Amino acid sequence: MMPVINAKRLIERLHALGQTGRHEGTLTRLAAGDADKAGRDLLCAWMQEAGLEIGIDRIGNIIGRWDPDGVSGAPVVMGSHIDTVIDAGIYDGCYGVLSGLSVIEALKGSGTRIGRPIAVVAFTNEEGVRFAPDMMGSLVVAGGLETDGALATVGTDGETLGNELRRIGYAGQLDPMDLRPHAYVELHVEQGPVLEAEGVNLGAVDTLQGISWQRIVIDGTANHAGTTPMRLRLDAGVAAAQITAALDGLARAMPGAVATVGTMRFVPNAINVIPSRATFTVDLRHPDEARLQQLEQDLALLLDGLRANGYLVSAERLARFEPVLFDQDIVEKIETAATARQIGCRRMTSGAGHDAQMMARVCPSAMLFVPSKGGISHNPQEFTEERDLIAGAEVLMDVVRGLCA
Amino acid sequence: MMPVINAKRLIERLHALGQTGRHEGTLTRLAAGDADKAGRDLLCAWMQEAGLEIGIDRIGNIIGRWDPDGVSGAPVVMGSHIDTVIDAGIYDGCYGVLSGLSVIEALKGSGTRIGRPIAVVAFTNEEGVRFAPDMMGSLVVAGGLETDGALATVGTDGETLGNELRRIGYAGQLDPMDLRPHAYVELHVEQGPVLEAEGVNLGAVDTLQGISWQRIVIDGTANHAGTTPMRLRLDAGVAAAQITAALDGLARAMPGAVATVGTMRFVPNAINVIPSRATFTVDLRHPDEARLQQLEQDLALLLDGLRANGYLVSAERLARFEPVLFDQDIVEKIETAATARQIGCRRMTSGAGHDAQMMARVCPSAMLFVPSKGGISHNPQEFTEERDLIAGAEVLMDVVRGLCA
């Protein structure tokens, strides 16, 4: 019997999980809060229904494992997370977890023979809204953060993650670092407009961009806008504008690069006063570490140019992640599976961070993207067509089946 | 006997007037408030001491007139204002009024024969902090605003100017438009860094810049900073930055022009979101109307370029004043007087607005500037050296003497 994804059940579960943490029409399911408990309980009930062995590790990651008799070795793991941002959509994270569950159900229900255990995991605190850093559950699994340190993290509301996990009943006994998969595959909505814009239904994610965030402060000299000749000015606003425009040009000239100045503040911010200070953030991303470093150097040179002209300039690093190169073999398996099902597929880069980037440190990993309407994410408007959701789960199933053959 | 400015008295009066409206070390003397009454009372007492005939017009302008027997004709008028901004320095406005008084005292005391009456005026509400518009007293004199309309103006605290003038005892009987000087000369601190930077002690102000203020709103599209390729972006922040940098370049390329983007706001102003909206102000100034219009057209073209690229752009006019060309004859008299006293003098433009620009509508007018340390004004740090203050008053005296010969 051919394994088939139960499309209706997958969609119904997405909507049911999207009702937990909903308050006055708004969906918010922050890590280790009451709404997260409701979502976790629902997920565990479904895993139990599916006959999975449920394990909870010390950082609260939920692992649902199908471990048929006579099958051994490290599991092939699918997953993502079910915590959300504030005022979220219903797909982000949840789709990856529920698709993984659907895949196991389909394989199990069809009597498919597998050569390894298969598991689906919901990682704790991927969003990082309540507890920093984000991608915390997978980071701990990957050994990038001590479990005890992560549990001691104080949230925005003053509670520690450890206490909150105990309170909601999800402080487990397993050692997070015991999860060492044979391979990890994460299915996710794109959170960007590329697939939709190109009319392609599946992305085989072969890289995850490196991210460099900096806060720049430029100090010039405030002065009267009418009486200060141009040659006597040290206009911090103009300096910030030149950097903003130049970064845009640099990113456009380098294939694969993106650069964004998302925040900007002038001081004193008065119509007839030359700005004395401009504070802004720079978000640089590239899938290739050398290129990302090139962009950072270009920015540093631009800032040095301002210093040479008399400005005081400081740059503070806010975040820095190296790019991730996903496993070529899994990426090829994704492409092959998509082609076999006649689903349009392209290789692509993930611009956002995902649990898969942490898992890539400990096992061969890759991701699949399905289109996201308008590229909207972290927003109630987030939407993916059902046929794309199902097609993504089917390709995931084919890939996992191949990985545990 | 040669007329001589009483330097000690002028300086002492500047400091004494600078004490009225001082509260916990901060000087604030808003138009027609209690502090303004205290300053007006002090000024009138000094005018009385000097034997001047004091007149108050309906808008509260105070005119102190020296009208020797047998002398007739329209008066030569000096003046400025004694209201201040919030947290002001002691020079702005007051220096012009007190110097005018000193000039009359010097001429009178030395028995100098004059061919016309001489007067000094303190105009009501030049700063416009409490009541809009600014330069109100001189605007009413020049016929640019009806007296009754001006008196009905509601201040930031809900009181009308008319009621407040009555309350403090400065609602006079004279018709403001009856003041039709033979000539008007205003001495002021520069409020800019030009004289200090060039080591010149006097400015003969031959023009007053035209001013064009606009508020620009650029709407693009918000999107994920990591997942939206550069070619699919409509980044309102980058568009605003390009305009800001381009305006700076345009002003630098046009002698006499200044351009300032003083305020800037991004929406949503988040580090990893492409700005959907940028709102900013543009302050353009030039002493020549055709050049100012050229700058406005250049800006309009830049905005049209954005529209052609898909942005929604709106531009709202916030203020517009045509440039003022001061009286060439008076300007030459200023230069001649400065040269005769071996005081370094240069012609210059006023970047700020002054009562003289209103008086220029009704009589030959010009201004003298003395250096201002660091170009700082509207600020407790405002400072001009005593020798520069005295030199300015001396040149003013010589010019006025010539004008009423």
- B227-273: pLDDT as tens digits: 889 999 999 999 999 999 999 999 999 999 999 999 999 999 988 88
For residue B53, the surrounding DSSP H or E stretch is strand B53-56
Q: Which of B235, B251, B271 sits opposite A248 (nearest CB)?
A: B235
Taking 90 as the threshold, does the pLDDT of residue A379 lie above it?
A: no
pLDDT at B11 over 90: yes
Tokens of B164: 């407040």
Q: Determine if residue B34 is labeled as part of a ligand binding site.
A: no
Residue A192 binned pLDDT confidence (cut-offs 50, 70, 90): confident
Predicted pLDDT at B227 = 85
Q: Could you tell me which residues are beta bridge partners of residue A345?
A: A202
**Is A229's CB within 8 Å of B194's CB?**
yes
Residues in chain B: 405
Closest by Cα among B57, B241, B306, B290 to B162: B57
Q: Which of residues 128-157 of A touch B (CB under 8 A)?
A: none
**What pLDDT, on the 0 to 100 scale, is given for residue B192?**
87
A209 in contact with chain B, both atoms CB, cutoff 8 A: yes
Tell me whether strands B277-286 and B258-260 are parallel, antiparallel or unpaired: antiparallel
Q: Is the pLDDT assigned to residue B335 strictly greater than 90?
A: yes
Block residue for tokens 């290739």: A288
Peptide bond into B364 cis (omega under 30): no
Is A191 within 8 Å of B257 when comparing Cβ atoms?
Answer: no
Q: CB–CB of A237 and B350 under 8 A? A: no
**For position B89, what pLDDT does the model report?**
95
What pLDDT is stored for residue B232 in this prediction? 92
Domains of chain A: 7-208+324-403 (3.40.630.10), 217-321 (3.30.70.360)
Across A104-113, average pLDDT: 96
Residue B71 exposed, middle or buried by CB count within 10 Å (0-12, 13-18, 19+): middle
Between the CA of residue B73 and those of B140, B228, B251, B404, what are the distances in Å? 22, 75, 45, 10
- Percent of chain A scoring above 70 in pLDDT: 100
Contacting residues for A219 by C-beta, under 8 A, at least 6 apart: A236, A276, A277, A311, A312, A313
Contact at CB, B262 and A242, closer than 8 angstroms: no
Three-state secondary-structure class, residue A83: coil
Does B286 appear as a known binding residue? no
Q: Does B213 touch chain A (CB under 8 A)?
A: yes
Report the pLDDT value the prediction gives residue B49, as an integer from 0 to 100.
97
β-bridge mates for residue B66, sequence order: B118
Give the pLDDT band (50/70/90) at residue B210. very high
**What's the pLDDT band for B1 if we cut at 50, 70, 90?**
confident
Write the pLDDT tens digit of every residue in B351-385. 888 999 999 999 999 999 999 998 888 889 999 99
pLDDT band (50, 70, 90) for residue A405: confident
A222: chain B residues, CB-CB within 8 Å: none
**pLDDT on residue A321:** 86
Lowest mean pLDDT among A190-194, A303-307, B79-83, B343-347: A190-194
- Cβ separation of B238 and A258 shorter than 8 Å? no
Cβ of A225 within 8 Å of Cβ of B258? The answer is yes
The pLDDT tens digits for A303-362 are: 999 999 999 999 999 888 889 999 999 999 999 999 999 999 999 999 888 999 999 999
- pLDDT bin (cut points 50, 70, 90) of residue A1 is confident
> H or E segment at B204?
strand B202-208
- Cα A161–Cα A165–Cα A166 angle in degrees, nearest 5: 120
**In the structure encoding, which two tokens stand for residue A100, read together?**
């993984």
B371 touches chain A (CB under 8 A): no
CB contact under 8 A, B285 and A257: no
Beta-carbon-side half-sphere exposure of residue B322 (alpha carbons within 13 Å): 8
Chain A, residues 24-83, CB within 8 A of chain B, namely none
Question: Is B23 annotated as a binding-site member?
Answer: no
Q: Which of A207, A208, A227, A267 to mutate to test the interface with B (most CBs of B within 10 A)?
A: A227
Q: What is the end-to-end Cα distance of chain A in Å, rounded?
A: 16
Chain A nearest CA to B373, separation (Å):
12
**Do residues B351 and B226 make contact, with C-beta atoms less than 8 angstroms apart?**
no
- B377 or A382: whose pLDDT is higher? A382
- As a whole number of angstroms, the longest Cα–Cα distance in chain B is 86
Q: Tokens 């937990």 map to which residue?
A: A20
Of B248, B256, B260, B212, give the one whose Cα is nearest residue B348: B256
Contact state of B283 with A225 under an 8 Å Cβ cutoff = yes
Contacts with A148 (C-beta within 8 Å, 6 or more apart), sequence order:
none
Interface of A with B in 166-195 (CB under 8 A): 190-194
Residue (of B211, B178, B187, B381) closest to B287 by Cα position? B211
- The C-alpha of A91 sits at a distance from chain B's nearest C-alpha, in angstroms, of 16
Sign of CA pseudo-dihedral A13, A368, B271, A136: positive
- Which tokens is B170 given? 């400065």
Beta bridge partners, A280, equal A216, A264
Q: Over chain B, what is the mean pLDDT?
A: 96
| CA-to-CA separations, A35 to A29, A134, A168, B382, in angstroms, rounded | 5, 18, 10, 59
| pLDDT greater at residue A230 or residue B351 | A230
Q: B121 — alpha (psi -120 to 50), left (phi > 0) or beta?
A: beta
Across A87-96, average pLDDT: 96
In this complex, do A351 and B231 lie within 8 Å of one another by their Cβ atoms?
no
CB B203 within 8 A of CB A235: no
Locus of tokens 């070619």: B231
Residue of B nearest to A275 (CA): B262
Please give the mean pLDDT across all residues of chain A: 96
Q: Where do runs of H (alpha helix) occur along A280-385?
A: 289-308, 328-340, 355-359
Distance from CA of A88 to the nearest CA of B (A): 14
Closest residue of chain B to A254, computed from CA coordinates: B230
Stronger pLDDT, A85 or A345, i.e. the higher one? A345
**pLDDT value of position B377:** 85
Which of B367, B375, B371, B377 minimizes the C-alpha distance to B399?
Answer: B367
Decide if B266 touches A, using CB distance below 8 A.
yes
Rounded distance between C-alpha atoms, residue B226 and residue A284, angstroms: 8
Number of neighbouring beta carbons within 10 Å of residue B12? 12
At B321, the pLDDT band (50, 70, 90 cuts) reads: confident
Pick the closest to residue A2 from A85, A86, A110 (CA basis): A110
B378 known ligand binder: yes
Task: Count contacts between A and B (CB, < 8 Å).
Answer: 196
Mutate to test the interface with A, among B195, B269, B271 (most CBs of A within 10 A): B271
- How far from B268 is each of A27, A262, A263, CA to CA, in Å? 20, 8, 8
Burial label for B365, CB within 10 Å (0-12, 13-18, 19+), is buried
Helices (H), A186-288: 194-198, 236-253
**CA distances, B393 to each of A177, B22, B91, B187, B401 (Å):** 83, 25, 13, 8, 12
Read off the pLDDT of each residue in B6-23 and give the average, rounded to a whole number: 97
Give CA separation, B208 vs B5, B273, B285, B394, in Å: 28, 43, 10, 23
CA-to-CA distance for A267 and A190, rounded, in angstroms? 38
CA angle centred on B51, ends B49 and B56, rounded to 5°: 95
Q: What is the pLDDT of residue B405?
A: 87
Q: What does DSSP assign to residue A341?
A: T
Q: What is the pLDDT of residue B352?
A: 86
Reply yes or no on whether the pLDDT at B223 is more than 90. Answer: no
In the structure encoding, which two tokens stand for residue B223, read together? 């999107």
Question: Any CB–CB contact under 8 A between A240 and chain B?
Answer: yes
- What pLDDT does residue A223 have? 86
Give the residue-averaged pLDDT of A42-55.
Answer: 98
What is the DSSP track for A150-161? Answer: HHT-B-TTS-BH
| Identity of the residue in A211, A232, A352 whose CB atom sits nearest the CB atom of B193 | A232
Kindly tell me if the per-residue pLDDT of A162 is higher than 90.
yes
Question: Do A189 and A370 form a contact (C-beta atoms < 8 A)?
Answer: yes
Q: What is the pLDDT of residue A49?
A: 97
Residue bearing the bigger pLDDT, A378 or A120: A120
Return the residue matching tokens 């954005």. B306
Residue A261: CB partners within 8 Å, gap ≥ 6? A243, A244, A247, A280, A281, A282, A283, B237, B238, B241, B275
Report the pLDDT value the prediction gives residue B257, as an integer from 0 to 100. Answer: 96
Which of A207, A272, A277, A311 is most worth mutating to test chain B (most B CB atoms within 10 A of its CB)? A272
Query: Cβ of B231 under 8 Å from any chain A Cβ?
Result: yes
Question: With contact defined as beta carbons under 8 Å apart, do B345 and B203 qualify?
Answer: yes
Q: Is B70 left (phi over 0), alpha (psi -120 to 50) or beta?
A: left
- Closest residue to A263, CB basis, from B238, B240, B270: B270
CB-based contact A227 B193, cutoff 8 Å: yes
* Mean pLDDT calculated for residue range A205-227: 93
> Which residue in A has a C-alpha nearest to residue B281's C-alpha?
A271
Task: Determine, for residues A251 and B230 on separate chains, whether the beta-carbon distance falls below 8 Å.
Answer: yes
Eight-state DSSP code of residue B52? P
Place of tokens 């970047």: B351
A351 lies within 8 A of chain B by CB: yes
Contact B227 A351 (CB under 8 A): yes
A57 is in an annotated binding site: no
Give the Å distances, CA to CA, from B348 to B281, B327, B362: 26, 13, 22
Contact (CB<8Å) B230/A252: yes
pLDDT score of B319: 82
User: CB within 8 A of A249, min separation 6: which ones?
Assistant: none
Question: For residue B180, what are the β-bridge partners?
Answer: none
Angstrom distance (rounded) from CA A10 to CA A387: 12
Determine whether the interchain pair B241/A252 forms a contact, defined as Cβ–Cβ distance below 8 Å. Answer: no
* β-pair partners for B281: B215
The answer to whether residue A283 neighbours chain B at the CB level (below 8 Å) is yes
Q: Smallest Cβ distance to A191: which of B224, B232, B271?
A: B224
Whether chain A has a CB inside 8 Å of the CB on B379: the answer is no
Query: Could you tell me the two tokens for A323?
Result: 């790019």
Q: pLDDT category, B343, cuts 50, 70, 90?
A: very high
The token pair at B365 is 């007018």
Q: Is B252 on the interface with A (CB under 8 A)?
A: yes
Size of chain A, expressed as the number of residues it contains: 405
Is A255 part of the contact surface with chain B (CB cutoff 8 Å)? no
CB spacing of A263 vs B240 below 8 angstroms: no
Reported confidence tier of residue A132, pLDDT bands at 50, 70, 90: confident
